[in-house]
Amino acid sequence: MSTFRVIQQKLEQFIKKYYTNELIKGAILFFAIGLLYFLVTLLVEYFLWLNPTGRTILFWTFVTVETGLFVRFIAFPLAKLFKLQHGISHEEASKIIGNHFPQVSDKLLNVIQLNQNQRESELLAASIDQKASELQPIQFKSAVNFRKNAKYLKYAAIPVIVFVLFSVLGDKDIFSSSYTRVVNYDTAYEPPAPFSFVVLNDHLNAVENKSFVLKMRTEGKVFPENATIHYNNETYYLQQTAPGIFEYTFTQPSEAVNFTLKANKVSSREYTLDVVKTPSLVGFEMLLDYPAYTGKKDEVLKSTGNATIPEGTQVQWQVATKNTTEVQLKTKDTAYVFTAKDQN
C-alpha cells in the first residue's frame, strides 16, 4: 500500500470521528433545546389555557420546531457519518487538521492538491511520497476531542433545572395537565375554578318537619361575596356569616332535597339532603265492650286514653300511626305489642 493511500485512510478515519463528534454535540443540543422548547410549550398552555385553535397552532409549531432540531442536530450528522449525504472533502479535512497541528500546517493540503494534478511524472510521485511519509506518524483523529462536548452539558442542565423548579415550587401537575391538553388540542377544556365549595355539616340528614341549617365555605384564591342554592327549580341566596362562609336554612323539609351551590358562575356538584321521617300517632280509639250485667251499650272513645269502666269490661285499643313499624302499650310493669292490620 502506497504512503499516500495510508494518508487517505487516515483522512477517512478523521472524517468519521469528526461526524461522530458532531453527532454527540448534536444529541446534547437537541436534548437541551428540544426539551426546553417542550417545557416552554407546556408552560404557555398552563398559564394561558388556550382554546382549541390556539392549542392546534401551539402543537403543530412544536412538532415543526422539534422536527427541524432533529434534522439539524441528529439526521444530518448521521447521514454524513454513513455517507448518505456529501460531507467534508479531504481538502476541507486537511485544513481542519492543519489548524490543529502546527507541524502539519499546509503540508497535508499540498499533498492532497499534488495528488489531484493530472500530470503524471516520477518527480511528482516522489514529491507526494516524500511529503506523505513526513505526515504518516501524525494521528489525524486526535484533532477531534470528544471531551470538548462537555461544555454543552451546561445547556442541557437548563431545561432540567426549569422542570425541577416548577415541579417542586409550583403545581405538581403543571406539566402533565398541560401536556394532556396540548396533545388533545382539538378538545375543549374548561379552566379550573378559582375556588371550590366545602360543606361543613358532618352529615346531610334532616328530621322531618324540623328546620335544618346548611353550612358551607369556599376554598381557593377567591372569596365570592354572594352564593346561591338551587333546588326544586328555585334559587335562593345564602347568608354570609364570614368571608367565604355561608349558611342556608331548609324550613321544615318533608322530602329529600337535591341541591347545588353556585357563586361567580362556579357551580358545585349535586348534594342530597336526606329527610328522616318522624314516627307519629295520628288517631287513637278505645273500643269498650261492657259486661251484660251493666245493661250498657258498647261504645267507642276517640282521641282519649282515660276512662272509668265497670269491672269485667273488655277494652280494645286501636291506633293509627305514620312512619312506624311497631306500637307498644306500656303499663307500670308490662308492655303490650299491638298487632298491625295495615302497614303505614
pLDDT digits (tens, 9 = 90+) for 326-339: 878 787 788 878 77
- pLDDT confidence of residue 332: 77
Please indicate, yes or no, whether residues 244 and 143 belong to a single structural domain of this protein: no
Query: The domain spanning residue 234 has which CATH number?
Result: 2.60.40.10
Residue 323: pLDDT band (50, 70, 90) is confident
Residue type at position 110: N
In the structure, what pLDDT confidence band is assigned to residue 124 with cuts at 50, 70 and 90? very low
Q: What are phi and psi of 290, to 5 degrees?
A: -75, 150
Name residue, grid cell 454527540.
24
Nearest to 239 by CA among 231, 251, 228, 253: 228
On whether residue 190 sits in a domain, the answer given is no
Are 51 and 175 found together in one domain?
yes
Asked if 276 and 253 count as a contact pair (C-beta separation under 8 A), the reply is no
Our count of domains for the chain comes to 3
Q: Position 139: which residue type?
A: Q
Last residue of a domain, one of 183, 208, 232: 183
Where is the domain boundary, 243, 276, 309?
276
Judge whether 342 lies within some domain: no
* Half-sphere exposure in the Cβ direction for 310 (13 Å, CA): 12
Q: Is the pLDDT of residue 135 over 60?
A: no
Q: Record the cell numbers describing residue 291, joined without a space.
A: 259486661
Tell me whether residue 292 is in a domain: yes
Q: Name the residue with higher pLDDT: 332 or 203.
A: 203
Q: Count other C-beta atoms under 10 Å from residue 250's C-beta.
A: 19
Indicate whether 48 and 141 sit together in one domain.
yes
Bridge pairing between strands 271-276 and 266-267 = unpaired
CB 287 within 8 A of CB 220: no
Residue range 193-209: mean pLDDT, rounded: 93
**Per-residue pLDDT at 170 exceeds 60:** yes
Domain of residue 320: give its range. Answer: 280-337
Residue 343 lies in a domain: no
Of 153, 183, 213, the residue at which a domain comes to its end is 183
In the prediction, which pLDDT does 251 show? 94
User: By the 8 A CB rule, do 36 and 162 touch?
Assistant: yes
pLDDT digits (tens, 9 = 90+) for 77-121: 999 999 899 998 888 887 877 777 776 666 666 666 665 554 554
Pick from 272, 273, 254: nearest CA to 209 = 254
Per-residue pLDDT, 105 = 61
Q: What pLDDT shows up at residue 42? A: 96
Q: What is the average pLDDT score of the chain?
A: 85
Q: What pLDDT was estimated at residue 118?
A: 44
Grid look-up 391538553 returns 181
Shared domain for 156 and 237, answered yes or no, is no
How many CB atoms are closer than 10 A to CB 301?
15
Residues 234 and 125 in one domain: no
Query: Mean of the pLDDT values across residues 295-302?
Result: 85
Q: Are residues 98 and 212 in the same domain?
A: no
- Residues 137, 233 within the same domain: no
> Which among 322, 325, 282, 273 is positioned nearest to 302, based on CA atoms?
282
Helices 3-48, 122-135: inter-axial angle, 10-degree rounding? 50
Q: Does 189 reside within a domain? A: no
Same domain for 147 and 170, yes or no, is yes
Q: Which long-range contacts (CB under 8 A, 24 or more apart) does 134-137 make?
A: 134/107, 135/7, 135/104, 135/107, 135/108, 135/111, 136/3, 136/6, 136/7
CA-wise closest residue to 66 among 97, 35, 27, 100: 35
CA atoms within 13 A on the CB side of 3: 17
Q: Do 169 and 25 lie in a common domain?
A: yes
Residue range 32-43: mean pLDDT, rounded: 96
Say if 215 falls within a structural domain.
Answer: yes
Full-prediction pTM beyond 0.75? no
Q: Which of 158-172, 308-322, 330-344 has the lowest mean pLDDT?
A: 330-344
Strand partners for 231: 234
With respect to residue 173, please indicate whether it lies within any of the assigned structural domains: yes
Is the CA virtual torsion 98, 101, 104, 105 positive or negative? positive
What is the gyration radius of the CA atoms in the chain, in angstroms? 47
Is the pLDDT assigned to residue 126 strictly greater than 60? no
Could you tell me which residues come within 8 angstroms of residue 116 by beta carbon, excluding any fewer than 6 positions away? none
- Shared domain for 127 and 167, answered yes or no, is yes
Co-location of 212 and 143 in the same domain: no
Q: What is the pLDDT of residue 222?
A: 87
Domain check: are 232 and 286 in the same one?
Answer: no
Assess whether pLDDT exceeds 70 at residue 343. no
pLDDT-derived band of residue 1, with 50, 70 and 90 as boundaries? very low
251 secondary structure, DSSP code = -
Whether residue 41 is contained in a domain is answered as yes
Q: Reply yes or no on whether the pLDDT at 280 is more than 80.
A: no
At 122 the pLDDT is 47
